[in-house]
Chain A
Amino acid sequence: MRKSFKLDEIDCAMCAQKLEDAIKKVDGVADARVNFLTQKLTLTSEDGADFNDVLDRVVKLTADVEPDCEILR
C-alpha cells in the first residue's frame, strides 16, 4: 500500500535525506520518499504488513530523528 502524508515541517534538504534513509530501515517499509520541497512523505508498505502499524512505527521514528517534524495524518 502506498500513501502520501503532509509533513509539518521539514525545512532542510539534509534533514529530509536523513529522515528518508531512517524511515526506509523501519520494519515493514518497502519504500519511502521525503520531499522537502513539497513537504511530503510518500510511504509504501511491504505486502502483508499492516499499514497502520507501519505508520505508527514511522511516526515514532520521526519524532526521534526530527523532533520538529510532525507527520499529519
Chain B
Amino acid sequence: MNKKQLKWRNRIIVALAIFAVVMAVEETGLLESLFGPTGSVYASFVFFLIPYLIAGYKTLLEAVHNIRRGDPFDEAFLMSVASLGAFAMVFFPETDPHMAEGAAVMLFYQVGELFQSYAVGQSRKSISAMMDIAPDYANIEQDGGLAEVDPDDVAVGSVIVVKPGERVPIDGVVLEGSSQLDTAALTGESIPRHVEAGANVISGCINMTGTLRMQTTKPFGESTVARILELVENASEKKAKTENFITRFARWYTPVVTFSALAIAVIPPLAGMGAWSDWILRGLTFLVVSCPCALVISVPLSFFGGIGGASKIGILVKGSNYLEQLAHVDTVVFDKTGTLTSGTFNVVAVHPEAGIDPDYVLSNAAYAEAFSDHPIALSIKKAYAGDIDQRRIKDAREESGHGVSATVDERVVLVGNDKLMAEHGASWHDCKLTGTILHVAVDGAYAGHIVIADVVKADAAETIKDLHDAGVKKCVMLTGDRRDVAEAVANKIGIDEVHAQLLPEDKVNAVERLLADQDPNSKLAFVGDGINDAPVLMRADVGIAMGAMGSDAAIEAADVVLMDDKPSNIARAMRVARKTMRIVWQNIVFALGVKIAILVLAALGIANMWLAVFGDVGVAMIAILNAMRCMRVEKL
C-alpha cells in the first residue's frame, strides 16, 4: 500500500471501530433508556454521524465539487446521496429509522474503494514487473574505465560493456567476448542463446556468463526493448469493442438509475401507494446498486492483464481490440516460408544408385559445390560431415543455372538438375520425394541424387491441430512454391486449403477472396514472417508476424507480434485471447445480473441497504479478482 492508501486504511479502521461501539450501545437499548424512544433516534443520528464523517468526508467533498462543476453523475455523488438520504430518515422518527444503514453504506463503500485501489495497484505492479525489461543504465568506456550512463545518452556506434548478470541496454553487435544470453523476457524461450564476436544482440536480453564488449547499432529509443515497452503500454489505448460498449453503457446507466430512483422515491407515495419513508428508502437502495464501477474497472483490467500476460510469454498484442478479434478468429492463413517451414534449405534425403555409398554421392556433391555460396550449395556443405580439401578440386564452374561441374581427383563431377544430366548424357531418373532434386554424375556415370527441401518446423503439425481444437475452422497456406512441394507440406501437417505458385501480389488477392467468403461474425488472421508481407498483414483482420526479434518492419505492420518463430505460439495467443474474453464476459454477465436482480428486489421493497452495498462493493471486488486471473497465462 502506498502512503495515501495507508492513511485511508487507518481512517476506515477508526471509523469501523467507532461504528461497532455505537452499534453495540444502540443494541443494548442503553440509548433508549437514556434519551427515551424518540430522543434515542436523534442520539443515534448524532453518534453514527461521527464514523460516517471520518470515513466519508472526502467522498462528500468530491460530490459537492462535482455538482459545482455541473458534472454530478459519478459514484461519489451516488454514495453521498444514498447515505445522506438514509440519515435524512431522522425526519421520520416514528418509522423506526436505522441510522446504522447510512453509516454502513459509506463505510463499506470506503472499504470496497480501498480494496479496489489496492487490487488495481497490485495488478498494475505485477504487470509492469512482467514488462520490467527496461535497462536502468549502460556501461560506456571512458578514460580507460567504465562509466554508468543513462541508456538514452548513448550515441549510435558507441562501445558499451555488458557484464554478466546485466541486461543488454541497447541493440548492437558484439565486438569482443562470448556469452550465453537469456532471452526469456523477450521470447518466453527458456533455452539461452550463445553469442560471440560478430553476433547481433538485441536489448532486453540478460547476459548470463561472460562479459561482452559491443558496439551499439541503434539509439535507445529505437532499440527493441524501448519499442516493445512502448507497444505494450500503448496497447490499452486501442480499445476493444467490449470496452467501448462498457464506457458508453456507464454513461447512460448512471443517470437512468438515478432518475429511476427519484421516480421510485416520489411517484408511488404521491399516488398514495404507501408511506414516504418506505419508498424513499427503496429509492436510496436503488442508488447504491447503481454504480457501474465493477464493469468500468474490471473490463479494461482484464484486457490489460491479458496483454501483459501474453507479453510475458513472448506474444505482443498491440491493442485490446486485436485481443478481442483474435478470440473470434476462425480462419488462419499462413504464409508458408518462415512460419510453417523454417525457410532454410536442408538435405532431406540422399538416394544413391544400387551399389553406391550415399556418402560418396554427398561428398562428390560437396566438393563440386565447394566454391559456390548458393543456398543449395550451402545446405549440401552443411550436410557433408567431412572437411573439404580444396586442393583436390580443379575447374569448378557454374553451368548456366542448371548446376555445377568440377574436376575432383581427376574425375569429372556434375551436380545439377535433369537438364544438366541430359546435356551431358548421363542417364538420370526422377525421385518420388518433392523438393529440389540434385543429380550427381561422376565421369559421365549416374551416381544418384540428393533431395533438398525447406524443412517443416517441428511444431507445425501440432499447431494446426491445436488451432482446429481451439475452434479454427479453416487453416489456409499461401506460398510461391511449386504446387507439388506445397501440397506435400500441407498434407504432412494437416492444412485444409493450399494456394500455391503465388506471386507476392497474389497473396493480397487470395486474402481478399478469403475475407469476402468470411462469415461476418468471425475473423481472419494472417501469419507471416514479417518479411515482404506487410500489405497482407495490414489487410487481414488480425496480422500476426512471427520471428520478429529485431525485425522493425514486422513489429510495425503486425497487430500481434510473436517474438520467437515457433508457430505453436499462434495457438497459445488464441488461447490467451479466448481466456481473456471469457473472463470479460463472465464479469459483464455476473455484475449486471446481480445488479439487475438487486434493483428489482429493491423496487419491490425486498432488498435492504445491506444487500445493495454488496451489490455495489462486493460485486466489484469479485469482478476485479476474476479479472486478475487474465494475467496468468503460463499454463495456456
Report A's interface with B, CB cutoff 8 A.
9, 11-15, 17-18, 33, 35-40, 42, 64-65, 67
* Residues of chain A contacted by B71 (CB below 8 angstroms): 18
Q: Does any Cβ of A come within 8 Å of B124's Cβ?
A: yes
A65 to B301, CA, bound (A): 23
Mind listing 26 A-B residue pairs with CB under 8 Å? A11-B120, A11-B121, A12-B117, A12-B293, A13-B296, A14-B75, A14-B250, A14-B293, A14-B296, A15-B74, A17-B247, A17-B250, A17-B296, A18-B71, A18-B74, A33-B237, A35-B233, A35-B237, A36-B120, A37-B236, A38-B233, A38-B236, A39-B124, A42-B237, A64-B69, A67-B65
* Residues of chain B contacted by A9 (CB below 8 angstroms): 2, 4
Q: Contact: B233 with A40, CB < 8 Å?
A: yes
Q: Out of B2, B237, B297, B304, name the residue touching A12 (CB < 8 Å).
A: B297
* Residues of chain A contacted by B247 (CB below 8 angstroms): 17
Q: Out of B124, B127, B300, name the residue touching A13 (CB < 8 Å).
A: B300
Q: Contact: A37 with B124, CB < 8 Å?
A: yes
A56 to B74, CA, bound (A): 26
Q: Does any Cβ of A come within 8 Å of B116's Cβ?
A: yes
A3 to B124, CA, bound (A): 22
Distance (whole angstroms) from the CB of A16 to the closest CB of chain B = 9
* Residues of chain A contacted by B297 (CB below 8 angstroms): 12-13
Chain B's closest residue to A21 (CB) is B71
Q: In B37-73, which residues have CB < 8 Å from any A CB?
A: 65, 69, 71
* Residues of chain A contacted by B300 (CB below 8 angstroms): 13, 36-37
When each residue 235-269 of chain B gets 1 if its CB lies under 8 Å from chain A and 0 otherwise, what string results?
Answer: 01100000000010010000000000000000000
- A to B contact number (C-beta, < 8 Å): 49
Q: In B518-555, which residues have CB < 8 Å from any A CB?
A: none
A9 to B4, CA, bound (A): 10
Q: Contact: A35 with B236, CB < 8 Å?
A: yes
* Residues of chain B contacted by A42 (CB below 8 angstroms): 237
Q: Contact: B117 with A11, CB < 8 Å?
A: yes
Q: Contact: B116 with A12, CB < 8 Å?
A: yes
Q: In B87-133, which residues have CB < 8 Å from any A CB?
A: 116-117, 120-121, 124, 127-128
Report B's interface with A, CB cutoff 8 A.
2, 4, 65, 69, 71, 74-75, 116-117, 120-121, 124, 127-128, 233, 236-237, 247, 250, 293, 296-297, 300-301, 304
Q: Please name the 5 residue pairs, one residue from A and one from B, whose CB atoms are nearest each other, closest first.
A: A13-B296, A37-B304, A11-B117, A13-B297, A38-B233
* Residues of chain A contacted by B117 (CB below 8 angstroms): 11-12
Chain B's closest residue to A39 (CB) is B124
* Residues of chain A contacted by B127 (CB below 8 angstroms): 37
A65 to B65, CA, bound (A): 8
A40 to B235, CA, bound (A): 13
Distance (whole angstroms) from the CB of B373 to the closest CB of chain A = 46
Q: Which of A9, A14, A64 has the most CB of B within 10 A?
A: A14
Chain A's closest residue to B291 (CB) is A14
* Residues of chain A contacted by B296 (CB below 8 angstroms): 12-14, 17
Q: Contact: B237 with A37, CB < 8 Å?
A: no
Chain B's closest residue to A40 (CB) is B233
Distance (whole angstroms) from the CB of B494 to the closest CB of chain A = 40
A37 to B125, CA, bound (A): 10
Chain B's closest residue to A64 (CB) is B69
Distance (whole angstroms) from the CB of A63 to the closest CB of chain B = 11
Distance (whole angstroms) from the CB of B268 to the closest CB of chain A = 31
Distance (whole angstroms) from the CB of A53 to the closest CB of chain B = 23
Distance (whole angstroms) from the CB of A22 to the closest CB of chain B = 8
A15 to B59, CA, bound (A): 13
* Residues of chain B contacted by A33 (CB below 8 angstroms): 237
Distance (whole angstroms) from the CB of B605 to the closest CB of chain A = 29
Q: Contact: B69 with A65, CB < 8 Å?
A: yes
A54 to B75, CA, bound (A): 30
* Residues of chain B contacted by A65 (CB below 8 angstroms): 69
A37 to B236, CA, bound (A): 8
A35 to B121, CA, bound (A): 13
* Residues of chain A contacted by B65 (CB below 8 angstroms): 67
* Residues of chain B contacted by A15 (CB below 8 angstroms): 74
Distance (whole angstroms) from the CB of A70 to the closest CB of chain B = 12
Distance (whole angstroms) from the CB of B434 to the closest CB of chain A = 51
A11 to B119, CA, bound (A): 11
Chain A's closest residue to B4 (CB) is A9
A65 to B70, CA, bound (A): 11
A40 to B128, CA, bound (A): 13
Chain A's closest residue to B305 (CB) is A37
* Residues of chain A contacted by B75 (CB below 8 angstroms): 14
Distance (whole angstroms) from the CB of A66 to the closest CB of chain B = 9
Distance (whole angstroms) from the CB of A34 to the closest CB of chain B = 10
Q: Contacts A12-B116, A12-B297 given; 6 further ones with Cβ under 8 A?
A: A9-B2, A12-B117, A14-B296, A37-B236, A39-B124, A40-B233
A42 to B124, CA, bound (A): 18
A23 to B299, CA, bound (A): 23
Q: Which of A12, A37, A38 has the most CB of B within 10 A?
A: A37
* Residues of chain A contacted by B124 (CB below 8 angstroms): 37-39
Known pairs A14-B74, A18-B74; A37 contacts B301 (CB<8 A): yes
A63 to B247, CA, bound (A): 24
Distance (whole angstroms) from the CB of A8 to the closest CB of chain B = 9
* Residues of chain A contacted by B2 (CB below 8 angstroms): 9
* Residues of chain B contacted by A38 (CB below 8 angstroms): 124, 128, 233, 236
* Residues of chain B contacted by A64 (CB below 8 angstroms): 69
* Residues of chain B contacted by A36 (CB below 8 angstroms): 120, 300
A68 to B128, CA, bound (A): 23
A11 to B75, CA, bound (A): 13
